[in-house]
Structure formats: C-alpha cells, structure tokens
Structure 1
Amino acid sequence: MHIAAVILSLVLAVAMLGSGVMKLVGAAQMRANMATVNVTPGQMRVLGVLEVLATIGLVVGLWVPALGIAAAIGAVIYFAGAIVAHLRAHDKGLQGAAVLLAVSVATLVVLLLAL
C-alpha cells in the first residue's frame, strides 16, 4: 500500500505544481480558462499559491503522513470547488478538474489506508 501512496502523492503533486505555476506566472491559456469561470487575476494567483502549498504538503507528507493527508484533503476540497465553479459558469470544460478530483480522492484514500 505504501508504494501506491507514494506514487499517487507524487502524481498529484506534479499535476498541482504544474497548474499552480501556470497560475502564478499568469500563462495566457490559464488566464483564459480562469476568466471563463469568473476568476480574477488576483484570485488566480491565490489559487496558484494554494496549489504550490498543496504540492509541498504532499511531498513532505511522504515523511510526515499527517501533512500528506491534510494536503490531500485540501486537494479534494480545492478540485470539488473547481467543479462547482465550472458548473456555476455553465462551462463544459471541467474534465481536468474532475480527473484531478478523482486522483485527489484516490490519493486520500490510499494515504489513509497506508497508516
């Protein structure tokens, strides 16, 4: 079970780091995606910071399990919120958020089972 926890934590961490950095640097495609769901540039930067912090939590959580679990819970909440934002904006482009929510849930479950 521990190997699955490590792999899922790292996969989620890499995905969140990539997304977070794109938000922090204000990549054009990310700005366009965020505008679609009514997220301002300032809010986008905050979301980017949250994703980078979750990345750190997931990686450090490989040695401090409680931190990894907390980061995974945060990721589940974050991506559930992303799906809600897409639905409220009537945006059909929520597949990425849905996949990352599924990975977040799987990571959380495996981390809890690995205790």
Structure 2
Amino acid sequence: MSTAYVIVTIVAAAAMLIASGVDVFRAQWVRDNMKRYGLPEWTLYPLAVIKAAGALGLLVGLAIPALGLAAAICLVLYFIGAIITIVRARGYGDLVYPTPYLVLAAASLGLFVAS
C-alpha cells in the first residue's frame, strides 16, 4: 500500500463526508439543484447515506483492501451517475460540483489498482 494511495484515500473520504453533510443539512442551493435536475427532495438523505457509506468504506479499506476497492468502484459509479443526471438536465455549469469527487474516487481506485 503506497503512501500516495493512503493520502488520496483519506482526502477522498473526507471530501465524501463533507458532501454527505451538505446533503444532510439540506442546503438551499442543493435543494434548488435537485429540483432543476428533476430529482425529488427526499432523495437527499439516501444520497447522503451512499456518500457517507462510501467514505467509511474507503477508510475501512485501508485495513480491509477488498472493501476499499468496492467502495472506490461504487463512488466512481455514483459520481458518473451524478454527472449523467446533470448533463441530462442540461445543467452543464454544475458539472464543477461532482467532478472533483469523481476525480478523488477514481484516483483512490487507480492508486489501489497500481499498488
């Protein structure tokens, strides 16, 4: 397990937990975006749980590698889905929100595979 993998994974997990917290506290800008994307507001909590579970999976994956691999794959798929949702709603300017999270999850996955 490389130092780069550990650092990127911890940063990715922290970012996912912050994103999850934004959903839990239902910031107005998040609710507005959800409405624009055609998603019901009640989906904020399940989406927050998915991000938090992914973050915890990344962290536990430092001790149990298979779980970290699964969490990284799921987070990559989650954020690809978020990007598809934004593109489908023609909210191109909002792509800057999920892209850094996708990059972090993909970097964690790539570094895991490389190590």
Name the TM-score, length of structure 1 as normaliser: 0.92
In the alignment, which residue of structure 2 is the partner of 1:101?
Answer: 102
In the alignment, which residue of structure 1 is the partner of 2:13?
Answer: 13
Tell me the SS of whatever aligns to 2:39: coil
Aligned Cα RMSD in Å? 1.2
Q: Could you list the per-position Cα deviations for residues 70-112 of structure 1 after superposition, in whole angstroms to 9, with x for gaps in the alignment? A: 1100110000001000000000211121222122111101012
In the alignment, which residue of structure 2 is the partner of 1:71?
Answer: 71
Counterpart mapping for 1:1-115 below 5 A: 2-92=2-92, 93-114=94-115
Q: Structure 2: 5+ residue runs without aligned partners?
A: none
Percentage of matched positions with identical amino acids: 35
- Divergent runs of 4+, >6 A: none
Name the TM-score, length of structure 2 as normaliser: 0.92
Q: C-alpha displacement at 1:16, in angstroms?
A: 0.7
Q: Distance in 2 between matches of 1:67 and 1:6?
A: 14
Amino acid at match of 1:34: M
Amino acid at match of 1:2: S
Q: Distance in 1 between matches of 2:66 and 2:84?
A: 27
State the number of aligned residues. Answer: 114
Q: C-alpha displacement at 1:5, in angstroms?
A: 0.8
Q: C-alpha displacement at 1:38, in angstroms?
A: 1.7
Q: Could you list the per-position Cα deviations for residues 14-71 of structure 1 after superposition, in whole angstroms to 9, with x for gaps in the alignment? A: 1110111111221222212222212212111111000010011011111111111111
For structure 1, which segment, 96-105 or 8-17, has the greater mean C-alpha deviation from structure 2 after superposition?
Answer: 96-105
For structure 1, which segment, 104-113 or 27-36, has the greater mean C-alpha deviation from structure 2 after superposition?
Answer: 27-36
Q: Distance in 1 between matches of 2:48 and 2:39?
A: 12
